[in-house]
Amino acid sequence: MKNVFAEDLYLFNTGQLFQAYRTFGSHPAVDNGRAGVRFAVWAPNARAVSVVGDFNDWMGGSHTLGRAGTTGVWIGFIPGMRTGDRYKYEVLDANGDRRLKADPFGFQSELRPNTASIVTRLDGYEWQDEAWMEDKRHHPPYARPMLTYETHLGTWRTDGPEMFRSYEQLADELVDYLVSMNYTHLELLPLTEHPFDQSWGYQTTGYYAATTRYGPPDGLKKLVDRCHQQGISVLLDWVPGHFCKDDHGLRLFDGTPLYEDADPRRAEKPIWGTLAFDFGKPEIHSFLLSNALFWMDVYHIDGIRVDAVASMIDLHFDKPEGMKTLNRCGTTEHLEALDFLRKLNETVFRAFPESIMIAEDSSAYPAVTSPTYLGGLGFNYKWNMGWMNDTLRYFETDPDQRSSIHSHLTFSLIYAFAENYVLPLSHDEVVHGKRSLLHKMPGSYPEKFANLRLFYGYWITHPGKKLLFMGGEFGQFDEWKDYDQLDWMLMDYPSHAAMQRYVRKLNRLYCEQSALWVRDHDAGGFEWIDVNNAKQCIISFIRKGWDGTPSVIIVCNLSRESYLSYRVGVPSRGRYRLLLNSDDAEFGGSGQPAFMTARSAARAMHGKPYSIEISIPALTVQIWTNA
């Protein structure tokens, strides 16, 4: 056993221990017939390390850990401790000062504002998702629908201020809602333990602890388990770029910059008030790579969305002039962070080949979703921030002015297949004064709803996987309030209830029509019919499946003009059927009469040998098929 432990510490020190959570932290164990808890913590520059807690009245020095040679790790066994005990490490640091630190590998924390770690077992839950876990091993995500509901568990529904729904409650309520709305994926804002509610989890202290705000670890397992039983993938936002400075956390853990870079110009993230990890240390690789695998191994998470990649890979990202540094090559790329990201994806896909790895990256860094052996970063998806910015700017513009910025709507197809993209309509776009998606839309109140239905139709039919932040599906009018639940009372108003019906129908149509997702990353799956009609603000295009799969034709009228007779070029002879009309009265539209079917005529149009005649009202998207 000692030899195995020694090998683990060697691998940790060399950046190759990928299940460090089995070695480090607190683990109930039996030693020489005595039950207790085994501890291991990395603090190479500490003079001494003790475990303190309720079991010894928080008195340091009585339960000390011993150095494990030159590894920088302190280990020990404390008999009599048991599951549920609170504890911290008392670190006599390099300067002789005493610091009380939560366990970097702690599996559970106290509910904030308390900050102690809790001895916890994670091996007692009986999973019921065997069929799901087996199925995803044989079906890679690229050619499958991916319609993600991005959710902040603390504000989806609440019972009052700081009266959060538990993981177990959400395993019923939230999952049932996802099924009813036809979502395929659930993405959760970070659940790692964090001290401040309104950081939304993006400023972490406990990387291995699922936040206690919503209950114990088994509750989160139940939520994931039930998602899988209902055919829903679970993604977790993950923040390896930086951590918060709270005293009980990672900052100056042993009195020296240990987890953070020793150079404050590189360590400080001034716009967030946080510290960047030192990606040059192999132990940091072991800590973070193990953490990514931990969520997949222990909690059955299907994938992670890596937050703020642009801030990790650019040494100058949002830095004032006095904090700018260059790498050894004299450029601004953070070479160690780039190496870490490549190693992250290689490690994850080696352990869990079916995983989903998404980069939230606003930079123009190339080949983010290319394999590392081809020089890429190795993610399988990247958020398309260019599409999001251009498209939102277009839709926020009054329809009478849109013809002058037509390229904002169409330019994304120039680069739509350069990466494997996700089209994000995320929480970042509906908070901090940016307004909700509905509120961004121009025009009268009915026009706002018409524009939003049109926007969603364009989004769902554009190449790329999909993500929508909670509340967008029923037209939340106020921007996201990160201290209160969504405005569910809006469902008492017909226009919002109709918007929810529209999104439910649109989601179902997306899942049923494989042409809308099976070739998301293949340029051969998309073809413009008419991209140049800026004057009338009308675009039309085709989404294609593989041979033998029905194609769909999308027509978007982005103007205030209705066209009772509009001719659209089509590629083949036959009868075309209307699948969805966003102007239907059922969805809150005007209910103007629309052709439900159209038969093609041998009349060339838009470079196609045939054409169909349709009626398309103002601010409407229509989806047709030749099936």
Domains contained in the chain, CATH given: 2-118 (2.60.40.10), 217-383 (3.20.20.80), 523-625 (2.60.40.1180)
- Is the confidence at residue 424, as pLDDT, over 80? yes
Render pLDDT for 545-593 as a digit per residue (tens, 0 to 9): 998 788 999 999 999 999 999 999 999 999 999 999 999 999 999 988 8
Q: Residue 448: what residue type?
A: K
- Is the confidence at residue 17, as pLDDT, over 80? yes
The predicted pLDDT at position 287 comes to 98
The predicted pLDDT at position 1 comes to 39
The predicted pLDDT at position 185 comes to 98
Instruction: Determine what percent of the chain is predicted with pLDDT higher than 70.
Output: 99
The predicted pLDDT at position 391 comes to 98
Q: With DSSP H G I counted as helix, E B as strand and the rest as coil, what are the percentages for the chain, rounded to 5?
A: 30, 25, 45
Using pLDDT thresholds of 50, 70 and 90, give the confidence band for residue 161: confident
pTM score, whole prediction: 0.96
Q: Write out the DSSP string of 159-208.
A: SSTT-BPPHHHHHHHHHHHHHHTT--EEEE---EE-S-GGGTTSS-SEEE
The predicted pLDDT at position 3 comes to 53
Mean pLDDT of 46-67: 95
Using pLDDT thresholds of 50, 70 and 90, give the confidence band for residue 438: very high
Residue 85: phi and psi, rounded to 5, are -70, 140
Catalytic residue among 307, 336, 429, 583: 307
Phi-psi map region of 437: left, alpha, beta (phi>0 left; psi -120 to 50 alpha): alpha
3-class state of residue 130 by DSSP: helix
Name the residue with tokens 């209902």.
230
Using pLDDT thresholds of 50, 70 and 90, give the confidence band for residue 291: very high
Render pLDDT for 371-384 as a digit per residue (tens, 0 to 9): 999 999 999 999 99
Render pLDDT for 459-501 as a digit per residue (tens, 0 to 9): 999 999 999 999 999 999 999 999 999 999 999 999 999 999 9
Using pLDDT thresholds of 50, 70 and 90, give the confidence band for residue 137: confident
Contact 578, 595 (CB under 8 A): yes
Contact 250, 89 (CB under 8 A): no
Instruction: Determine what percent of the chain is predicted with pLDDT higher than 90.
Output: 94
Q: What is the mean pLDDT of the chain?
A: 96
- Is the confidence at residue 256, as pLDDT, over 70? yes
- Is the confidence at residue 144, as pLDDT, over 60? yes
Identify the bridge partners of residue 569 per DSSP, sorted by sequence position.
611
Catalytic residue among 360, 361, 429, 583: 360
Residue 520 a catalytic site member: no
Using pLDDT thresholds of 50, 70 and 90, give the confidence band for residue 142: confident
Residue 193 a catalytic site member: no
